[in-house]
Amino acid sequence: MARKKLETLTEQMYYVLLSLTKERHGYGIMQYVSQLTGDRVTIGAGTLYALLSRFEEEGLITLTHTLEGRKYYQLTSEGEQTLRGEYDRLRRQVADGAAILNEKEEES
C-alpha cells in the first residue's frame, strides 16, 4: 500500500510547521525552533529552505509577504490539519509507550 504524502513528519518538518503557526521568516524559524527545543533541534539553512519550498508546493504554507529581502510564511488550513494530525499521532505513540513501560515497571 502506498504511503500518503506527508503522513508522518520528520522532527525538523514538525518543528518548521509548528513554528509557522505564527508568521515568520526563514531565519526567524531557525531561531524559534532552536529556542523552543533548547537547542536540541537545529535546522540548517539548506534543509529549511528545501522544506519551505516543499511545504509551499504542497499547500501547507503560504508566502505572506517579502520585507527587506526576507520572505515571510504562515501555515494554511491544510498545513494546520497536517500539523494536528502529526501531533495526534505522536500523542498516541507516547500513550502506547507509557502503557507498556508502566506495565513493565509494575511487574518489577
Residues 81-99 have pLDDT tens digits of: 999 999 999 999 999 999 9
Is residue 77 a contact partner of residue 21, using CB atoms and an 8 Å limit?
no
Banded model confidence at residue 2, pLDDT cuts 50, 70, 90 = very low
Domain containing 25 — which CATH number? 1.10.10.10
pLDDT tens digits, one per residue of 15-38: 999 999 999 999 999 999 999 999
Banded model confidence at residue 13, pLDDT cuts 50, 70, 90 = very high
pLDDT tens digits, one per residue of 52-80: 999 999 999 999 999 999 999 999 999 99
Report the alpha-carbon distance of residue 107 to residue 47 in Å, rounded. Answer: 44
Residue 42 lies in a domain: yes
Residue 5 lies in a domain: no
Report the alpha-carbon distance of residue 70 to residue 91 in Å, rounded. Answer: 34
Residue 1 lies in a domain: no
Pairing of strands 24-25, 61-67: unpaired
Query: How many domains is the chain partitioned into structurally?
Result: 1
Residue 6 lies in a domain: no
Residue 84 lies in a domain: yes
Per-residue cell: 84:
494536528
